[in-house]
């Protein structure tokens, strides 16, 4: 095709114009003042930018664009509101301020409709960079932003199950934390450890269940299908139903790990109904260190995410010259009554 750039050479704005059949100036307008360009032309130019993989030169752009000092953050839509996210935003606001930036909130739809909102914000020069969270399988944002040379950092990995995605990220090592929980339960004598998780495949879920598997493998414990229950939603009721299935199975576990505190609270409810003493009869662990974990009777052993460290590392990454780098932080096991880890070793149970 006549318009294709030479392989290896950077694509120029003039080549994009030729490809789209418009002037260089029109391409520039699409990039810098898209509201001045009619929708059809704009679409055509954007398609050419995509097709040729045109990347505006960062230095040239910075020279003409005064930084806003603002970092954009899309409020998560798919996740239920949590105290953790309030805490995370406080920490992120503080860490950004310490670096001379401020946080601007916006809303964006999930999935492939999301990037249009990011595009509009960039066109309006509303922000210099983005912090992403609530990352999902096939999250379209990472590639979209990287292709446009937009600075971003992500709280949450760009999950390799769906091909590796570009970008800088910080995450908590759920696998390592869950393997530590297994080790603690093993020490207490537990030899059959169940796992309650979501049936929706998310990166966090795969990470945590992998840690359970690794931990069990290290101690020669079963990770058979009869020890895993998948539930449709992250609710207390779903956790209760999962506990029922595990406890009524032919060879019930003596410890139950859940992928979230909410599910774990449901598990505790079922133990209570059966008159089982949790912590001693059946040990239970969650993940998140939510408010629920501290208010349930006896307390729920769980994993806390180091929120200040997460926010601080995200801002550090914004300032690096790297474009692809991930930082895995350790989660902290919070020991409470539902699984008093680190206590005296117990006799083997549930083999």
Q: Does 291 bind a copy of itself (CB under 8 A)?
A: yes
What would the DSSP string read from start to end of 284-326? Answer: EE-SS--HHHHHSTT--BEEE--HHHHHHHHHHHHTSS-SEEE
Task: Give the residue with the Cβ less far from a copy of itself, 165 or 240.
Answer: 240
Task: Give the residue with the Cβ less far from a copy of itself, 104 or 329.
Answer: 104
Measured CA to CA, the distance from residue 192 to residue 166 in angstroms comes to 39
The binder of a copy of itself chosen from 60, 116, 295, 348 (CB under 8 A): 295
Q: Does 294 bind a copy of itself (CB under 8 A)?
A: yes
Part of the chain binding a copy of itself (CB under 8 A), chosen from 91-99, 149-157, 192-200, 314-322: 91-99
Q: Does 106 bind a copy of itself (CB under 8 A)?
A: yes
Q: Estimate the crossing angle of helix 13-20 against helix 24-32, to 10 degrees.
A: 100
Part of the chain binding a copy of itself (CB under 8 A), chosen from 79-87, 198-206, 252-260, 328-336: 79-87
Q: What backbone phi and psi angles, to 5 degrees, belong to 155?
A: -90, 105
What would the DSSP string read from start to end of 212-275? Answer: HHHHHHHTT----GGGEEEESSSSHHHHHHHHHHHHTSSS--SEEEESSHHHHHHHHHHHHHTT
Q: Does 97 bind a copy of itself (CB under 8 A)?
A: yes
Pairing mode of beta strands 302-304, 332-334: antiparallel
Specify the residue for token string 């954007």: 46
Contact 192, 216 (CB under 8 A): no
Question: Minimum distance from CB of 188 to a copy of itself (Å)?
Answer: 25
φ/ψ bin of 184: left (φ > 0), alpha (ψ from -120 to 50), beta (otherwise): alpha
Kindly state the DSSP code that residue 11 receives in the 8-state scheme.
P
Q: Does 276 bind a copy of itself (CB under 8 A)?
A: no
Q: Tokens representing 227?
A: 């020890």
Task: Give the residue with the Cβ less far from a copy of itself, 85 or 129.
Answer: 85
Task: Give the residue with the Cβ less far from a copy of itself, 11 or 74.
Answer: 74
Number of chain positions touching a copy of itself (CB under 8 A) = 35
Q: Does 82 bind a copy of itself (CB under 8 A)?
A: yes
User: What binding mask, one character per residue, do residues 144-183 give for a copy of itself by CB under 8 A, x or -?
Assistant: ----------------------------------------
Contact 11, 52 (CB under 8 A): yes
Q: Does 7 bind a copy of itself (CB under 8 A)?
A: no
Binding stretches for a copy of itself (CB under 8 A): 70, 75-77, 80-87, 89-90, 93-94, 97, 102-107, 126, 236, 265, 269, 272, 290-292, 294-297
């Amino acid at each position: 095709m006549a318009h294709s750039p030479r392989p290896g050479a950077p694509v120029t704005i003039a080549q994009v114009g030729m490809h789209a059949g418009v002037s260089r100036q029109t391409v520039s307008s699409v990039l810098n003042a898209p509201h001045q360009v009619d929708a059809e032309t704009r679409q055509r130019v954007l398609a050419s930018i995509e097709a040729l993989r045109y990347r505006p030169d960062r230095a040239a752009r910075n020279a003409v664009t005064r930084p806003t000092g603002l970092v954009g953050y899309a409020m998560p839509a798919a996740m239920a509101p949590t105290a953790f996210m309030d805490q995370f935003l406080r920490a992120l606001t503080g860490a950004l301020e310490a670096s001379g930036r401020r946080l601007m909130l916006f809303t964006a739809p999930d999935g492939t409709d999301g990037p249009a909102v990011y595009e509009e914000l960039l066109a309006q020069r509303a922000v210099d960079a983005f912090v992403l969270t609530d990352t999902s399988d096939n999250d379209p944002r990472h590639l979209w932003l990287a292709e446009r040379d937009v600075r971003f950092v992500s709280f949450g990995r760009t999950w390799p199950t769906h091909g590796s995605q570009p970008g800088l990220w910080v995450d908590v090592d759920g696998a390592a934390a869950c393997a530590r929980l297994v080790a603690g339960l093993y020490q207490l004598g537990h030899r059959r450890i169940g796992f309650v998780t979501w049936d929706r495949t998310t990166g966090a879920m795969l990470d945590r269940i992998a840690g359970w598997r690794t931990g069990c493998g290290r101690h020669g414990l079963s990770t058979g299908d009869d020890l895993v229950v998948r539930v449709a939603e992250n609710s207390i009721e779903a956790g209760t139903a999962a506990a029922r299935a595990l406890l009524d199975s032919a060879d019930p576990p003596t410890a139950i790990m859940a992928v979230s505190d909410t599910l774990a609270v449901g598990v505790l409810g079922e133990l209570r109904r059966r008159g089982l003493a949790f912590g001693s009869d059946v040990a239970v662990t969650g993940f998140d260190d939510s408010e629920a974990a501290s208010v349930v009777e006896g307390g729920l052993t769980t994993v806390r995410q180091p929120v200040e460290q997460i926010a601080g590392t995200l801002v550090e990454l914004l300032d690096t010259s790297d474009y692809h780098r991930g930082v895995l932080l350790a989660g902290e096991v919070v020991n409470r009554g539902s699984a008093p880890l680190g206590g005296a070793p117990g006799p083997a149970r549930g083999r």
